[in-house]
Structure 1
Amino acid sequence: MALLLHLADFNERRWADGFAAALPGHKVVTRADAYDPKEIEYIFIWKPKPDAFAGLSNLKAILSLGAGVDALLRNPSLPDGVPISRFMDDDLTRRMSDYVLAQATMHQRLFTRFKRDQQARVWKQLYPAPAWDTSVGIMGLGSLGTDAIRHLKVFGYKLRGWSRTEKQIEGVETFAGAEQFDAFLAGTDILVNLLPLTAETQGILNFETFSKLKRGGIDGTGPVVINAGRGGHQKEADLVKALTDGTLGAASLDVFEVEPLPQDSPLWALDNCYITPHIAAASSERTGVAYFSKAIVDFEAGRPLPSVVDRTRGY
């Protein structure tokens, strides 16, 4: 068995050393090493180059470092019929929930309002509405969305959820499909996007969506958007417009149409836009190696891969 690492933005050598220790007796190579493409049976990949799969004629499985696989599915050299397993472990999921909870709480506590008061040296005692009077709507009710809901429940937020297909979650008002999307938005103060990126969800965070969110919530400062999904979900020109004209009170963005976010993006200058550099749920080297080493061992023994992607759905 030979494993190839193809990891943009990561130290391939360090990851390779981890896999070599976890898979004794198996060959582990990086793009910088000499190897025969025909001997590669597994590829561990993130942000693939256009020719990432060229010559890999004996692949048994594709292992995605990220939970999102939209870049993989668009790759022109992606081979048909090879299963794709995406990274969905507890560590990554909990990191995402940590991000969502931190951002939601910050906005519910009127951080932008008080930051502006501080800069103006204004002492004005405005008491934020409590969590239980604030509705948080989660777009995407898979593993990430349901875990975020579990954490938000502890703080007492009014919770709403929207997904492609109908789901029932205790203590959550759920909506499904395009026909219920507007009703979901109309009762949401803080909109959290954790959807997979598909043809149907591309650009879903747009001005029309923002204008349908609940008005007058969060003490009149305007609704909030938190995007920790994919950059392709949002239309950044629409975000700038909505954050400037009051359609949105604030936004927290961890992902962008182009990454790194270009220096000339107007988002940088908006004091009601909170930018993080795609770190909401960074994959851990320790847990990633353990997760996929076990996946390879299990698959070699005839057991199924974890979190296999449905290519027709896109996740």
Structure 2
Amino acid sequence: MTSELMAFYSAHDDFNAWRAALAAEDVELRQADDIVEAGRVRHALVWKPPHGFFARFPNLGLVVNLGAGVDALVGRSDLPDVPITRLSDPKMARMMAGYVLFAVLRHARNIPAFERAQRQRRWHYIHPRDPETINVGVLGLGELGLTAAMECARQGFRVRGWSNSPKAVDGIETSAGPDALEAVLGSSDIVVCMLPQTAATRGLLDAARLAQMRSGAAFVNVSRGSIVDEMALIEALRTGHIAEATLDVFATEPLPSESPLWTMDKVLITPHLASIALPASAARQIGENVRRSRTGEPLLGRVDPGRGY
């Protein structure tokens, strides 16, 4: 059987690693710009391709988004009417859970205060708190959010999860819907945003919602910058209503050099790397979906464009 031909487009990911991993799944990956026989291409592995990209490949039957978040893809006007899948790799979930746990522990153990004291050459003791006395609110209980919430609970934190639709999770108090959000924000010592970007979540954490957070709480964002009113967040940090923040995502990326966030010692900035797709493990799901696409079986991680995830 001839290898399936897949077009690749991403400005950031390691093409050679993806090509080698997919070769083991009998998928021939080529850079989109190097493909001459466009009619042979039945699949595309992409991250934010340029407008008009898909028109070059008239026989597409599957689009694979190079990540778990599909907001940059499903809102496009040039998207072909074919199935879209997102990567659903356990290693991505584990990587995200590790980052979230790092951020939660950093705030729970007062590490930013110790970092400031070190710069001042000042011995500064703060007595550690029992994790069971610290409330962690996790907004978004999808695959990544749920894994992170469970990891925090495993470490002894009191975790409250909030989602769009009701979910029951052992060891985690859950709630759903707009009316329940205020209670989660107001009762959490650390709020972790893991929501998908949709029409309903864009700008959800505005000045009014941030004001509902417990005074002196910490904020962690690993989802999308557009979910948070960035200027309102900056003001809440300036006033101390939000004491500290760990931010991996921003409204504009890279974060502009003039952003006040850069100079705030209350803020840790990382460049959108809380979780990335790992070719060696994610290729298995892609290869399986290529086979399912050929046989007409249900696809893994299929996206509902109407819902946005």
How far apart are the structure 2 equivalents of 1:17 and 1:165? Answer: 39
Report % sequence identity.
Answer: 35
Deviation at 1:18? 3.2
SS of equivalent residue, structure 1 residue 306 = coil
Partner of 2:153 in structure 1? 153
SS of equivalent residue, structure 2 residue 196 = coil
Whether 2:33 is the aligned partner of 1:63: answer no
How far apart are the structure 1 equivalents of 2:56 and 2:289? Answer: 23
* Within-5 A mapping of 1:124-139: 124-139=124-139
Deviation at 1:169? 1.4
**Structure 2 unmatched ranges of 5 or more:** none
Partner of 1:50 in structure 2? 51
Deviations 1:196-219 (A, max 9, x none): 10011012233222211123xxxx
* Within-5 A mapping of 1:37-186: 37-80=38-81, 82-186=82-186
Deviation at 1:178? 0.8
How far apart are the structure 2 equivalents of 1:179 and 1:191? Answer: 17
Comparing 92-101 and 40-49, the one that deviates more = 40-49
Q: Is the Cα contact below 8 Å between 1:252 and 1:273 reproduced in 2?
A: yes
SS of equivalent residue, structure 2 residue 175 = strand
Deviation at 1:184? 1.5
How far apart are the structure 2 equivalents of 1:258 and 1:174? Answer: 31
Output the TM-score relative to the length of structure 1: 0.92
Partner of 1:253 in structure 2? 247
Deviations 1:164-221 (A, max 9, x none): 0111112222111111111121111111111110011012233222211123xxxxxx
Letter of the 2:40 counterpart: E
Letter of the 2:289 counterpart: A
Q: Is the Cα contact below 8 Å between 1:29 and 1:35 reproduced in 2?
A: no
Deviation at 1:294? 2.1
SS of equivalent residue, structure 1 residue 250 = strand
Whether 2:298 is the aligned partner of 1:297: answer no
Q: Is the Cα contact below 8 Å between 1:5 and 1:16 reproduced in 2?
A: no
Q: Is the Cα contact below 8 Å between 1:137 and 1:162 reproduced in 2?
A: yes
Whether 2:218 is the aligned partner of 1:224: answer yes
Residues 11 and 172 of structure 1: is their aligned pair in 2 closer, same or farther, counting only changes over 3 Å? closer
Deviation at 1:54? 1.6
**Structure 1 unmatched ranges of 5 or more:** 216-221
Deviation at 1:39? 2.5
How far apart are the structure 1 equivalents of 2:116 and 2:124? Answer: 11
Whether 2:12 is the aligned partner of 1:12: answer no
Q: Is the Cα contact below 8 Å between 2:247 and 2:267 reproduced in 1?
A: yes
Comparing 202-211 and 97-106, the one that deviates more = 202-211
Deviation at 1:21? 4.0
Output the TM-score relative to the length of structure 2: 0.94
Partner of 1:219 in structure 2? none
RMSD of aligned residue pairs (Cα, Å): 1.6
Runs of 4+ aligned structure 1 residues displaced above 6 Å come to none
Deviation at 1:305? 1.1
Q: Number of paired residues?
A: 306
